[in-house]
Amino acid sequence: MFPTPIEKSTPGVQVAYKVMLPVALLVWLAPLLAVALFSIKPDADFTTGNYWGLPSSFEGFTNYGLVFGSDMPRYMLNSILITVPTMIGCVILSSMTGFALGIYKFKANIWVFFMFVAGNFVPFQILMVPVRDLTLDMGLYNTIPGLVLFHIAFQTGFCTLFMRNFIRALPFELVEAARVEGISEFRIFWFVIMPLMKPALAAMAVLIFTFIWNDYFWAVVLTQGVESQPVTAGITSFNAQFRAAYHLMSAGSIVAALPPVAMFFLMQKHFIAGLTLGAVK
Amino acid sequence: MADTTVSTGTSQRSWYKRNEIAVTPWLFLIPGIIFFMVYVIIPIFQSFYYSTLSWDGLGEPQNIGMANYAELWDDDAFYTSLWNNFIWLALYLLAIPAGLFIALLLNQTIWGIRLYKSLFFFPFVISQVVVGLVFGWFYDPTFGLFNIALGAIGLGPINVLGDEAYVTYGIIAAGLWPQTAYCMILYLTGLNAVDPEQIEAARLDGAKRLKMLWYVVVPQLKPATFIAFVVTIIGALRSFDLISIMTNGGPFGSSRVLSFYMFEVALSEYGFRMGYGAAIAVVLFLIMLVFITYFLYSMYNEEKGR
């Protein structure tokens, strides 16, 4: 193990390490703690310049109540309506592409794979003008399906990379044995490979949820207004409405950030397994 | 008797059955390829075409050849954005050593370390919109923690986001926060798989700390470093959210990067100049193409090695 386990060092070093950790963590998360503190302060604290002191009164309920009384719940709902179908679409498309590229050996395999990978690496802003135009032409501008379709398509690049590498690592003998038994390729996909893909699909779904929930760029490019915009775009109009109302902006930010955070803590194992796939040989 | 059944059996086998293994992958690929073609691959090439147009997105597009690129050539705002993109690329890479540093710090087995790891990773999960907002306050000249800290050592106050000299660095620092967390988690996973026998052997040979790290551990972390490099480069070139939230490109356009400038030109009050925006997109794509080529080349060698 590297570095040397702390248990093997002197007691002094051990104590220093155990004191240093929480301090380092506090510094690391200071910006977030600040927001959490702001979100329970009364308005008056900001006008009197009491930014960092204790709240003069606890206004958490009032502040969060105001957030839930605004357009925020609608934005949250939009985010869910965008994120969940995208997750489903990506899981379906990429379990198929991943299966095809992971199991079959054919000439174009590597080139199809590289097409997905290269597309996924592109700074997606360069797609802005054509994709916006395409969405307008389909009559889907400023609609949730317009945003979902793009997200599914773009994330398919990453998801294909992910699923294909995962399937490559499965024992190929399973497929060979099934073929010897005369099982059709579709049944191999559904009954042999699919059950083994479950952990990968879970990991992927959590990642997609986070990526799409946190997307801001496409929300601004393809939608406008409360009827279709997700919460990342919503928070900016919320902030414009409550400019300099730091307590409300903080509470709003926390509400907007909460679902992916909850997802992360609930599905931590899958989340990290997904993010670090390929980090180890 | 037996012979006839077999022969009828083969002739009845459909074309699909006979070519099942060759055809199935394409059946599985078609939906994914169509989606990806329509929304990603074709638009990349469309950008090249759009970049030769003068078009406001509504009226009749006019073909103006290379005029958009000629205009870019003399556009100071374009050079500012381009230069900022390079600063982003260079400084964003600091996330890799920083992530390794934190990973080494946390790669212990004391009680509660798992929670520490999760909490250190936390910034990555939060939307960049929120990160931008929070760092905007952090830099605030009147109440921001940054200036309080500066004041404590007798400096400041500096209005980081209002000063052309500092603004890009300030935004990059905000971006490094989640990116470092990402690199950290990659390295934590990598460190987990470092071969303990090699470490012990090196220890017996008298290798210590930095030497051990550089000659024994870092080479074994190569796959993690490669992924960290890929995601950091992509992240740097995709920077948009933070700039949009923290400064909206200001002051006086000094914090723009290409992706943001493109958005401004094509879709904001600066006018709906789709062609000009597409020309900027092409430049950004060409920069990325250098990296994509390198990434794919490395992956290709890896595949051959299997």
> Is A104 part of the contact surface with chain B (CB cutoff 8 Å)?
yes
Q: Tell me, what's the pLDDT at B306?
A: 64
Is the confidence at residue B11, as pLDDT, over 80? Answer: no
Range A190-194, long-range pairs (CB < 8 A, 24+ positions): A193/A99, A193/A103, A193/A167, A194/A95
A152-184 tens-digit pLDDT: 999 999 999 999 999 998 999 999 999 999 899
Q: Tell me, what's the pLDDT at B3?
A: 47
Nearest CA distance, B2 vs chain A (angstrom): 20
Q: Tell me, what's the pLDDT at B8?
A: 46
Do residues A11 and A103 both lie within one domain? Answer: no
pLDDT category of residue B46 using cuts at 50, 70 and 90: very high
The 10 Å Cβ neighbour count of residue B224 is 28
Among A63, A79, A108, the domain boundary falls at A63
Q: Which residues of A29-56 are buried (b: 16+ CB within 10 A; e: fewer)?
A: bebbebbebbbbbbeebbeeeebeeebe
Is the confidence at residue B4, as pLDDT, over 50? Answer: no
Do residues A52 and A102 both lie within one domain? Answer: no
Is the confidence at residue A2, as pLDDT, over 90? Answer: no
A211-267 tens-digit pLDDT: 999 999 999 999 988 899 999 998 888 888 887 788 888 999 999 999 999 999 998
B109-123 tens-digit pLDDT: 888 899 999 999 999
CA B119, CA A22: separation in Å to the nearest integer?
A: 11
Give a yes or no: residue A117 inside a domain. Answer: yes
Give chain B positions within 8 Å (CB) of A45. Answer: none
> Is B285 part of the contact surface with chain A (CB cutoff 8 Å)?
yes
CA B103, CA B185: separation in Å to the nearest integer?
A: 7
Do residues A107 and A179 both lie within one domain? Answer: yes
> Is A236 part of the contact surface with chain B (CB cutoff 8 Å)?
yes
Share of chain B above pLDDT 90, in %: 59
The reply to whether residue B35 touches residue A156, judged by beta carbons under 8 angstroms, is yes
Q: Tell me, what's the pLDDT at B128?
A: 93
Angle, CA B68 vertex, CA B63 and CA B72 arms, to 5°? 180
The reply to whether residue B43 touches residue A127, judged by beta carbons under 8 angstroms, is yes
CA A106, CA A160: separation in Å to the nearest integer?
A: 17
Among A63, A93, A110, the domain boundary falls at A63
Among A33, A63, A93, the domain boundary falls at A63
Nearest CA distance, B90 vs chain A (angstrom): 17
B54 near A134, Cβ under 8 Å? Answer: no
Q: Of A2-11, A90-99, A156-165, B25-34, which gets the smallest average pLDDT? A: A2-11
A193 SS3 class: helix
A and B: number of Cβ contacts within 8 A: 283
> Is B107 part of the contact surface with chain A (CB cutoff 8 Å)?
yes
**Cα Rg for chain B, rounded, in angstroms?**
26
Closest of A67, A68, A43, A71 to residue A55, by C-alpha: A43
Do residues A100 and A22 both lie within one domain? Answer: no
Is the confidence at residue B10, as pLDDT, over 80? Answer: no
Nearest CA distance, A125 vs chain B (angstrom): 6
Give a yes or no: residue A26 inside a domain. Answer: yes
Nearest CA distance, A75 vs chain B (angstrom): 14
Q: Tell me, what's the pLDDT at B97?
A: 96
CA A38, CA A63: separation in Å to the nearest integer?
A: 10
Give chain A positions within 8 Å (CB) of B282. Answer: 126
The DSSP line for chain B is: -HHHHHHHHHHHS-HHHHTHHHHHHHHHHHHHHHHHIIIIIHHHHHHHHHTTEE--SSS--EE-TTHHHHHHHT-HHHHHHHHHHHHHHHHHTTHHHHHHHHHHHH----TTHHHHHHHHHGGGGS-HHHHHHHHHHHT-TTT-HHHHHHHHTT-----GGG-TTTHHHHHHHHHHHHHHHHHHHHHHHHHHTS-HHHHHHHHHTT--HHHHIIIIIHHHTHHHHHHHHHHHHHHHHT--HHHHHHTTT-STTTT--HHHHHHHHHHBTTB--HHHHHHHHHHHHHHHHHHHHHHHHHHHHHHHH-
Do residues A51 and A82 both lie within one domain? Answer: no
Q: Tell me, what's the pLDDT at B7?
A: 45
Q: State which residue of chain B sits closest to A187, comparing Cα positions.
A: B24
B170-221 tens-digit pLDDT: 999 999 999 999 999 999 999 998 888 888 888 888 888 888 888 889 999 9
A278 SS3 class: coil
A33-44 tens-digit pLDDT: 988 998 998 888
For chain B positions 50-89, those within 8 Å of chain A (CB to CB) are 50, 57
> Is A11 part of the contact surface with chain B (CB cutoff 8 Å)?
no
Overall domain count for chain A: 2
The DSSP line for A76-135 is: HHHHHHHHHHHHHHHHHHHHHHHHHHHH---TTHHHHHHHHHHHHHS-GGGGHHHHHHHH
Q: What is the CATH number of the domain that holds A184?
A: 1.10.3720.10
| Over residues B32-53, mean pLDDT | 94
Do residues A24 and A126 both lie within one domain? Answer: no
Angle, CA B221 vertex, CA B220 and CA B226 arms, to 5°? 130
The reply to whether residue A116 touches residue B43, judged by beta carbons under 8 angstroms, is no
CA A269, CA A245: separation in Å to the nearest integer?
A: 37
| Over residues A185-199, mean pLDDT | 93
Share of chain A above pLDDT 90, in %: 62
- Single-letter residue type at B194: V
**Cα Rg for chain A, rounded, in angstroms?**
24
Do residues A85 and A44 both lie within one domain? Answer: no
Do residues A15 and A126 both lie within one domain? Answer: no
Give chain B positions within 8 Å (CB) of A255. Answer: none
Angle, CA A227 vertex, CA A134 and CA B245 arms, to 5°? 80
Q: Tell me, what's the pLDDT at B14?
A: 84
Structure tokens at A89: 């679409």
Angle between helices B222-237 and B167-192 (to 10 degrees): 160
Give a yes or no: residue A157 inside a domain. Answer: yes
CA A66, CA B2: separation in Å to the nearest integer?
A: 82
User: Which structural domain, as residue segments, surrounds residue A24?
Assistant: 6-63
Angle, CA A249 vertex, CA A246 and CA A253 arms, to 5°? 135
The reply to whether residue A21 touches residue B116, judged by beta carbons under 8 angstroms, is yes
Cα B162 to chain centroid, rounded: 26
A18-33 tens-digit pLDDT: 999 999 999 999 888 9
For chain A positions 119-148, those within 8 Å of chain B (CB to CB) are 119, 121-134
Do residues A98 and A165 both lie within one domain? Answer: yes
B148-184 tens-digit pLDDT: 888 888 887 888 999 999 999 999 999 999 999 999 9
Do residues A47 and A82 both lie within one domain? Answer: no
Q: Tell me, what's the pLDDT at A131?
A: 94
| Over residues A69-91, mean pLDDT | 94
Structure tokens at B73: 């050539």
> Is B47 part of the contact surface with chain A (CB cutoff 8 Å)?
yes
B75-272 — its CATH code?
A: 1.10.3720.10
Do residues A74 and A182 both lie within one domain? Answer: yes
Do residues A37 and A161 both lie within one domain? Answer: no
> Is A2 part of the contact surface with chain B (CB cutoff 8 Å)?
yes
A120-141 tens-digit pLDDT: 999 888 999 999 999 999 999 9
Give a yes or no: residue A280 inside a domain. Answer: no
> Is A210 part of the contact surface with chain B (CB cutoff 8 Å)?
yes
> Is B231 part of the contact surface with chain A (CB cutoff 8 Å)?
no
Give a yes or no: residue A1 inside a domain. Answer: no
CA B35, CA A90: separation in Å to the nearest integer?
A: 11
Closest of B228, B219, B211, B214 to residue B195, by C-alpha: B219
> Is A82 part of the contact surface with chain B (CB cutoff 8 Å)?
no
A201 near A87, Cβ under 8 Å? Answer: no
DSSP class of A9: S
